[in-house]
Amino acid sequence: MSEISYYGRPLLKAPVWEWAVPTYFFVGGTAGAAMTLGMVAHNVGQRRLAERCRWIGAIGGGIGSALLIYDLGRMSRFLYMLRVFRPTSPMSVGSWVLTLATPLSLGSALFHNKPLGDAAGLLGMPLATYTGVLLGVTALPGWYEQRRKLPVLFAASSLASLGSLLELMRNSPAEERVVRRVATVGRAAEVAIAGHVSAATVLTAASLLVSILPGGKRKRIVAGVLGMAGSLALRWEVFHSSQRCR
């Protein structure tokens, strides 16, 4: 959008967020998807996969919290957002979801506690998608125009990045079948929902293609790396699409 004010300046300011924010979109989304998959895996008897997902959720939630605090500049600013809970504010809801889900996932991983894992799992998908809602409610055209797509796109990309990460780990044959399905569904949905060709969709589509080809460990590593790169690139592309407000 090229509208400018009478003073030659943009009508809308681009975000002042730095690299930590789109990186958090990626890390937090992967962590949220891991928490939810951990809940599902435990309930279908995949205990080892569930434990791994809970650790991914806990570590990812911790890294995500650190990224947000870094972007805010001080811990006190993050704590300030937790003074009240505002259901109408995606930022407030997301801050509370992150604050609750991370220790729940860590507790379930440390103590092999199913109720804690289930609670983290229920919070997982909101954690993976609230950033899409947050961007969509801004006044910036590049995000507002995609407000209905962004949460679903972030959910698909979170599944894709989780599946890609798990592909880089050692899995049993039963676990590998679950991982392959998660990765395939996430990648296919991400490419379909994105609806345009970009560096991110090319990387994700390439990871999808590699994953369905015959091969062993090397193929899984290539697919996993491409999938992680595609999901990370997607967050950065969405982040930079706000520049269309200039």
Q: Can you give the CATH number for the domain in which 35 is found?
A: 1.20.1630.10
> CB of 31 within 8 A of CB of 106?
no
How big is the CA angle at 88 (ends 17 and 11), to the nearest 5 degrees?
Answer: 45
Work out the widest C-alpha separation in the chain, in whole angstroms: 64
pLDDT score, position 192: 95
pLDDT score, position 15: 58
Both tokens of 185, joined, read 């569904």
With respect to residue 4, please indicate whether it lies within any of the assigned structural domains.
Answer: no
With respect to residue 11, please indicate whether it lies within any of the assigned structural domains.
Answer: no
How many folded domains does the chain comprise? 1
pLDDT score, position 246: 46
* Structural domain boundaries, residue 209: 20-245
Both tokens of 176, joined, read 């590998």
Q: Euclidean distance between the first and final Cα of the chain, in Å?
A: 6
Both tokens of 11, joined, read 């009508």
Q: CA-to-CA distance for 189 and 178, rounded, in angstroms?
A: 17
- Give bridge partners of residue 196 from the DSSP assignment: none
* DSSP 8-state secondary structure symbol assigned to residue 237: H
Whose tokens are 């958090």? That residue is 24
Q: What would you report as the CA-atom Rg of the chain, rounded to the nearest whole angstrom? A: 18
With respect to residue 5, please indicate whether it lies within any of the assigned structural domains.
Answer: no
In this structure, what is the dihedral angle of CA atoms 9, 14, 17, 23, given to the nearest 10 degrees?
-150
pTM: 0.89
For residue 15, give the 3-state DSSP assignment.
coil
**Which residues of the chain have a pLDDT value below 70?**
1-17, 242-246
> CB of 64 within 8 A of CB of 16?
no
With respect to residue 85, please indicate whether it lies within any of the assigned structural domains.
Answer: yes
pLDDT score, position 46: 94
Helix and strand element counts for the chain (H, E)? 10, 0
Q: CA-to-CA distance for 33 and 38, rounded, in angstroms?
A: 8
pLDDT score, position 138: 80
With respect to residue 3, please indicate whether it lies within any of the assigned structural domains.
Answer: no
The distance of Cα 118 from the centroid of its chain, to the nearest Å, equals: 19
With respect to residue 112, please indicate whether it lies within any of the assigned structural domains.
Answer: yes
Both tokens of 50, joined, read 């569930």
pLDDT score, position 243: 55
With respect to residue 53, please indicate whether it lies within any of the assigned structural domains.
Answer: yes
With respect to residue 1, please indicate whether it lies within any of the assigned structural domains.
Answer: no
